[in-house]
Structure 1
Amino acid sequence: MMHTSVGWHVEMEFREDDQHTRAVAMVRLPDGSEVRAHGHASRHQTDVNQPRVGEEIAAARALNELAMQLLTKAHGEIDQASGRTSHPIHV
């Protein structure tokens, strides 16, 4: 059995103001395709301004959406190759 090492790099960008943080996550796959996802966080007006916390929440939401898109993409490829409908398990 041959083992190969494969790595993916996820890029994360943020746009912020005093109340909102938006994140965009993007991964380039070995086949050249890209998958992008968005996440958002809002600070309640009574909360202390902690930009890092907003980034973490927005990033987590973007990564969660990215994961769901990758699952959907993978199952579409399984379906196309097998001629049947696969059933993704969402965790």
Structure 2
Amino acid sequence: MVFANAGTLGTVPGKRDALVAHLTRRSDLLLENGCLMYEVGTNDEEPDTVFVIELWESAAAHQASLALPEVRASIDEARPLLSGEFGGFRFEVAGSPLRD
């Protein structure tokens, strides 16, 4: 069953665009490890927040990706841009009117 992870990442003031650039760098590794979609966005009403929506083949695929050395290195590289404020939710996708 498809797994969804939607969240917010608080950034250090003025570092939002740097985090967006970091998160949107091309990564075939994610695709190869079960990521179906990874979308990054912003909202001018929340200038120090980045929004991320991920779809994965499964919760296990998402969890396994977090152990990949390249993903760990990317997380470590992003840490100085983050304020430590995080939000969001996770769920198993039940279906969609856009696909069978």
What range describes the TM-score normalised by the shorter chain of this pair?
under 0.3
Between structure 1 and structure 2, the one with the greater Rg is 1
Which of the two has greater strand per residue? Answer: 2
TM-score of the two chains, using structure 2 as the length reference: 0.26
